[in-house]
Amino acid sequence: MLGRFGPKKADHPSIGNPCPACHRVFQEGDYTTLIPVGPGDDPEAQKQAILGKTYNAVALEVHWECVDPNIHQ
């Protein structure tokens, strides 16, 4: 289950950045979520992932409505 974050405030650091799913920029009032994509290049996170343990994942911020509705459940 993904978390829904928002609405974004005007001073949020991702305002103006493009959503990797739809390429529209994040704006004040948007709701977003984070999509974990894996351990990235951190050797310790990679090791934890391989062992099936908890690790800090690299994540992509996307608009809430850009995520498949079946994932929201």
Using CA atoms, how far apart are residues 47 and 49, in angstroms rounded to an integer? Answer: 5
Domain ranges of the chain: 1-66
The C-alpha angle with vertex 11 and arms to 63 and 40, in degrees rounded to 5, equals 50
With a cut of 60, say whether residue 11 has pLDDT above it.
Answer: yes
Instruction: Give the residue, 1 or 40, on which the prediction is more confident.
Output: 40
Reported as a single tens digit per residue, the pLDDT across 21-71 is 999 999 999 999 999 999 999 999 999 999 999 999 999 999 999 997 776
Read off the pTM: 0.81
Distances (CA, A) of 54 to 38, 39, 44: 11, 10, 11
How many other CB atoms sit within 10 Å of the CB of residue 45?
Answer: 18
Query: Residue 38 corresponds to which amino acid?
Result: G
Residue 7 C-beta-side C-alpha neighbours within 13 Å: 6
